[in-house]
């Protein structure tokens, strides 16, 4: 395993919002490293069911509206995503540009060190600190980096938000945010060796999420979306 990959895994690990409805908790592991016993997760409850022409009986229509807004990101041509993550004694940050035409360009900053990643349909490039861009060949290393990138920014290669509301999710508060969006505070439970209840808030305006706030004991992680459908995003490759 290359030194650059080890460093990149460390940086991406600082950004990975473990759980948060995007996957079963603790199921991801680095190549060659077996999952420990406490990483084995039970299957979480199923997500809400969407039906044409109506809402599934017993499902909160507001939850379906929130999930649809998250799904709408996949229909956009481009957007900018910014994330701030609190840490022990420091704060990590990241910025991601998504374009259906141009790919994904992400910058991660942790402990003052910057790492950039750029991915299009065929190739993944990495730039660590002041080094030059280098390609990551297909294989386990590239797959692991792309997986951690999705976890860090909750964005798939199609631009979709990967947060999924489970069948037991419930809206605990609805209010108007000063920025003009409607802020929904949500709780949902995942079942691992111990039951874990997650609390987060999604702000929605115009059928699109403008921010997601993940509330954790160590602080609140904030994800903000902007410049939706801006044609200038990744109009030119960051490699140029």
| 211 has a pLDDT exceeding 90 | yes
Residues 6+ apart with CB under 8 A from 47: 67, 164, 165, 166, 167
Please state, in angstroms and rounded to a whole number, the distance separating the CA atoms of residues 199 and 179.
21
pLDDT at position 130 is: 84
Kindly state the average pLDDT of the residues 186-194.
Answer: 82
Q: Are 172 and 186 in contact (CB under 8 A)?
A: yes
Q: Are 77 and 66 in contact (CB under 8 A)?
A: no
pLDDT at position 4 is: 52
* Secondary structure (3-state) at 5: helix
* Secondary structure (3-state) at 166: coil
* pTM of the predicted model as reported, rounded to 2 decimal places: 0.73
Domain segments of the chain: what residues?
A: 3-29+42-226
| 123 has a pLDDT exceeding 60 | yes
CATH code for the part of the protein at 3-29+42-226: 2.50.20
* Secondary structure (3-state) at 65: helix
Residues 6+ apart with CB under 8 A from 186: 63, 66, 165, 169, 170, 171, 172, 199, 200, 201, 202
* Residue 4 φ then ψ, to 5°: -60, -35
Choice between 88 and 197, residue whose per-residue pLDDT is larger: 197
Choice between 68 and 45, residue whose per-residue pLDDT is larger: 68
Choice between 194 and 95, residue whose per-residue pLDDT is larger: 95
DSSP type of residue 181: S
Please state, in angstroms and rounded to a whole number, the distance separating the CA atoms of residues 95 and 90.
17
């Amino acid at each position: 395993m290359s030194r650059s990959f080890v460093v990149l895994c460390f940086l991406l690990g600082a950004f990975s919002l473990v759980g948060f409805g995007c996957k079963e908790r603790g199921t991801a592991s680095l190549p060659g490293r077996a999952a420990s016993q406490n990483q084995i997760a039970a299957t979480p409850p199923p997500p809400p069911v969407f039906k044409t022409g109506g809402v599934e009986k017993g499902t909160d229509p507001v939850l379906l509206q929130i999930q649809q807004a998250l799904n709408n990101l996949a229909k956009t041509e481009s957007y900018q995503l910014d994330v701030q993550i609190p840490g022990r004694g420091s704060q990590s940050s990241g910025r991601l540009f998504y374009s259906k035409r141009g790919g994904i360009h992400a910058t991660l900053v942790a402990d003052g060190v910057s790492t950039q990643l750029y991915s299009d349909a065929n190739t993944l490039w990495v730039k660590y600190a002041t080094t030059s861009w280098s390609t990551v060949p297909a294989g386990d290393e590239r797959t692991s980096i792309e997986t951690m990138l999705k976890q860090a920014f909750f964005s798939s290669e199609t631009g979709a938000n990967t947060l999924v509301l489970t069948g037991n999710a419930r809206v605990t508060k609805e209010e108007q945010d000063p920025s003009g969006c409607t802020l929904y505070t949500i709780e949902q439970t995942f079942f691992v060796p111990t039951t874990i209840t997650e609390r987060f808030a999604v702000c929605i305006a115009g059928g699109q999420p403008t921010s997601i706030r993940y509330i954790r004991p160590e602080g609140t992680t904030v994800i903000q979306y902007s410049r939706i459908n801006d044609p200038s995003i990744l109009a030119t490759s960051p490699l140029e």
